Structure formats: C-alpha cells, structure tokens
Amino acid sequence: MELPIFYDEAEEWSNALLLYNSALKEINTKLEILNNEFKLAHQYNPIEHITSRVKSPQSIAKKIRHKGKELTVENIVKYINDIAGVRIICSFTSDIYRIADLITKQSDIKVLKVKDYIMQPKQNGYASYHMIVSVPIFLSNTVIDTKVEIQIRTIAMDFWASLEHKIYYKFEGNAPERIRKELKECADIVNYLDQKMLSLNEEVHVCNHNEVAEYKEIMSENYREMMKESYGSVIDDEDENDVASSEILSEEDVDSYQVEHIMEDLATNNIMNKDSKNKSKDGKKEEKKEKKGLGSFLTKVMTNSQ
C-alpha cells in the first residue's frame, strides 16, 4: 500500500489508521451480507460471530523491531500485514473453507497470501485459516488498497487459541515443557472434537433431508386423496392423453399449492363438499366438466401466485 505524502509522522500515522479502520468496516460489511445471504438461501448461518481490531501501538513497535526494521510509518505499512485484523468464528471446519471461498470470489478483494494451519497445524497444535487480503478504500481524490489479515476458525479452535495465549503470556512465552506438551494434547482433543461434531452435523443433515422428503411425499399423497374426494382425481392415467401438457401439475406445484392455499381453505371451510347421491344427471354433467377444468384452474392459480 502506498500512502500519500504527509507533513509529519503523526499525521501520516493518523491517515494510515483511517485506512485500516475503513478496511475493517468494508470487510465486516461484506461478511455480514454474505452471512445473511447464506442464511436466506440455506436457513443456516455459517458464521457464529466476528471480531475485528487494529493492532496496538505497543504490538506494532514490538513486531517491527523483531523484524529488524526502523520504526517508521512507511516500514509499518510495508512489513506488517496484520495491523488490521478480522477474526471469523464458524461452527464447523467445513464452514471455514466455505467462507474463505466466498471471500476469494469477491471481485474487489485481492487475496495476497494464505496459510492453512488446519491442514498443517503449528507444532504447538495451533489450527486456523489465515488470509492476507487487500481491499480498496475510496478516498475523495484517490483509491488506496489496504491490507487486512483474516483469521477463520471454529469455536473449539478459538477456545484453545485464546486460553493457550493467556497461559503462554503468564510465562512470557517460555512455558515449561510439561505445559507445552499438555497444551498440544488439548489441541489434539479440540481437533477430534471438531471432526466429531462435523460428522454428527452431516449425519443429522442427511436424516433431516430424508425426513423432509418422506414428509413431502406423505403430504402430497394426502393432498391428492383430498382432491379426489372433493373434485375427483387430479389426473388419472387413462385421462393423461386428454389433458394438455400445460395443465399437468408437477409434484412441486402440488406441494406449493398445498402450502399456500389448501391449509387456508381447510381453515375457512372453503373446500367444496359434494354429495353425488343427491345430484341430478345435469349436475353430474356439470361436475364432470368441472373436473376436466381443474388442471387449468390450478395452473392459473399457481401462475398468479408466482
């Protein structure tokens, strides 16, 4: 990222902070939209919650000195990629890669670097998915690409990483071997837990899908029986050649009509009840005519409802 020339370091850093904070807002807005869209399409939120921050001046100074560079705004912007950071917490490991893919497909986001610590965890057991991206920030007279680090992990991964950081902080980064070993064992347990929960979720999803399919089949059959009792058969095999193709209702049409109209009709007692024994011959002729026109009627209703 190239910064405009400013009068002094303080003003330069203030303008850099403006860019980083703006970049965080851009990323957070995109993630919120993607999450809401996914919920609308799949009735499921892949993102549990999102946190974001700009690195503290103390952390920035420590990191730039660790890299052996002079503490200047130019060096900070050039050599530190995680000044602006976003952390995305997901339910399952499959959600991590789904979110990463959605971010990558954003036309105005450029992925600069990826580190997959899920497929290849760190030696201490740390697991997460890291992305360094750049997002364009539109100022009044220019556009500046600004770097943001995105970390994506599960709830379990975040739990381990947060506590591991606190424990190491107490030892100032030099935890005893026994502590490091036990933390690694905890990381292995977290990994097993994530895999187990993912497996259970997939199993439940399959069961629910089968139950919904079975329920729809039962309701569709019940609906057909109800229509037969009220109007006669919707479409009989022997009448198939007599009915125009545009009048044939698909299973989806039947389900849709049932959900949107039949329950309401039942509640208000608008379903016609007929007694064929009390009808005259002329009435039967009218009834037969009505049965033949049912396909056109329902097709018209479904077309209007769309």
DSSP secondary structure, 43-68, as one string: S--SEEEEEEEEPPHHHHHHHHHHTT
Torsion region of 81: left, alpha or beta (phi above 0 gives left; psi -120 to 50 gives alpha): alpha
Query: What is the reported pLDDT for 27?
Result: 97
Interval 189-215: pLDDT, tens: 999 999 999 999 888 877 666 565 665
Find the mean pLDDT for residues 237-265. 49
**CATH code at 9-175:** 3.30.460.10
Interval 215-226: pLDDT, tens: 566 666 666 666
The overall average pLDDT reported for the chain is: 79
Interval 28-76: pLDDT, tens: 999 999 999 988 988 888 999 999 999 998 999 999 999 999 989 999 9
Which residue do the tokens 């209703």 mark? 301
Which are the contacts of 180, defined by CB distance < 8 A and separation ≥ 6?
A: 124
Considering only CA atoms, which of 210, 234, 222 is closest in space to residue 258?
222
Query: What is the reported pLDDT for 131?
Result: 98
- pLDDT greater than 60 at residue 230: yes
Query: What is the reported pLDDT for 203?
Result: 85
> Of all residues in the chain, what percent carry a pLDDT higher than 90?
50
Which are the contacts of 305, defined by CB distance < 8 A and separation ≥ 6?
A: 256, 257, 260, 261
Tell me whether residue 264 is one of the annotated catalytic residues.
no
| CA atoms of 161 and 138, how far apart (whole Å) | 35
Could you tell me the two tokens for 286?
A: 């009218």
Find the mean pLDDT for residues 280-295. 50
Interval 173-194: pLDDT, tens: 688 899 999 999 999 999 999 9
| CA atoms of 239 and 254, how far apart (whole Å) | 18
Query: What is the reported pLDDT for 209?
Result: 63
For the chain, what are the domain ranges? 9-175, 213-305
Interval 118-154: pLDDT, tens: 999 999 999 999 999 999 999 999 999 999 999 999 9
Q: How confident is the model at residue 2 (pLDDT cuts 50, 70, 90)?
A: very low
- pLDDT greater than 50 at residue 242: no
- pLDDT greater than 60 at residue 270: no
Q: Looking at 149, 225, 238, 251, which residue is catalytic?
A: 149
Query: What is the reported pLDDT for 296?
Result: 54
- pLDDT greater than 70 at residue 252: no
Instruction: Give DSSP secondary structure letters for 184-231.
Output: HHHHHHHHHHHHHHHHHHHHHHHHHHHHHHHHHHHHHHHHHHHHHHHH
Query: What is the reported pLDDT for 140?
Result: 93
Query: What is the reported pLDDT for 208?
Result: 63
Interval 69-112: pLDDT, tens: 998 999 999 999 999 999 999 999 999 999 999 999 999 999 99
CA distances from 233 to 221, 229, 230, 290, 292 (A): 12, 8, 9, 12, 10
- Higher pLDDT: 292 or 47? It is 47
